[in-house]
Amino acid sequence: MLKKEIQNQDVTASGFTLIEVLITVAIVGILLLVAAPGFSNLISNNRMISEVYALRATLSHARSEALARRAPVVVCPTSDGLACADSQNWSLGYMTFVDTDDDNVASSVDPNEEIIQWEVRQNPVDVRFDNSNKRVRFGGQGAALNFEGTFTFCDNRGEEDARGLILNPVGSLRAALDTNDTPDDIVNILDNSNVVCN
């Protein structure tokens, strides 16, 4: 009797068939192919913004230190955190220090020449400064006279996705914008020409 009841019951197995699994994998693959470029662009934008904010914070802090100390403070590119590099490339890092003797070298033994900050950068964002002095020097009044210019931030996407940070002679900073009469979606440097990525 028990055997007959078991035989009469309709037994169905639950689970996915091979075709259902293959269709699901194909749909997930298509979604990833569509979403991946947008996600990659989002990551690149966040990386770029992070670099802009880091340098902006460093420059603002250096200007504040110059005002507080009533002494010149230099921000410059460096590879070792001890001396300024003779380069307009700020991608590897930059340092901030008091520079009362204007020799572009911080002295660890002189309290009047102390290193305030050293930022080591390891990011695929290329950071360049277009001033021929290759450094920024804030005077004791906070001005950056003769050290003004534009920092450009580029990655492998080119000028269309580049960003800029403009330092004016009085020492204040602002984001570079597309100020052309006919907008071309490329930000402009201090002289109103488009940024150029190398």
Domain count, the chain: 1
Using alpha carbons only, how large is the chain's radius of gyration in Å? 28
Q: Is residue 181 part of a domain?
A: no
> 30-57: per-residue pLDDT in tens?
887 777 777 788 888 899 999 999 999 9
Q: Is residue 180 part of a domain?
A: no
Q: Is residue 198 part of a domain?
A: no
Cβ 151 vs Cβ 127: under 8 Å:
yes
> 62-93: per-residue pLDDT in tens?
999 999 999 999 999 998 888 899 999 999 89
Percent of the chain with pLDDT over 70: 92
For residue 6, the number of C-alpha atoms closer than 13 Å in the C-beta half-sphere is 3
- Report d(CA 114, CA 120) in Å as an integer: 18
C-beta atoms surrounding 66 within 10 Å: 27
- pLDDT value, residue 138: 96
Cβ 164 vs Cβ 151: under 8 Å:
yes
Q: Is residue 5 part of a domain?
A: no
Domain carrying residue 76: 17-175
Q: Is residue 194 part of a domain?
A: no
- pLDDT value, residue 12: 56
Cβ neighbors of 174 (< 8 A, separation 6 or more) are: 165, 166, 168
Q: Which residue has the tokens 């009047």?
A: 112
Q: How confident is the model at residue 101 (pLDDT cuts 50, 70, 90)?
A: confident
Cβ 157 vs Cβ 134: under 8 Å:
no
Mean pLDDT, rounded, for 175-196: 88
Q: Is residue 89 part of a domain?
A: yes
> 128-138: per-residue pLDDT in tens?
999 999 999 99
- Kindly tell me if the per-residue pLDDT of 143 is higher than 90: yes
Q: Does an H or E element contain 95, and which?
A: strand 93-98
The CATH number for 127's domain is 3.55.40.10
Q: Which residue has the tokens 């997930």?
A: 28
Q: What's the token pair of residue 79? A: 């590879």
3 vs 62, more confident: 62
Q: Is residue 113 part of a domain?
A: yes
Burial of 17 (0-12, 13-18, 19+ CB in 10 A): exposed
> 103-117: per-residue pLDDT in tens?
878 877 777 888 899
Q: For residue 134, which of 100, 84, 71, 173 has the smallest C-alpha distance?
A: 84
What are the residue ranges of helices labelled H in 70-177?
none
- Report d(CA 79, CA 118) in Å as an integer: 10
Q: Is residue 114 part of a domain?
A: yes
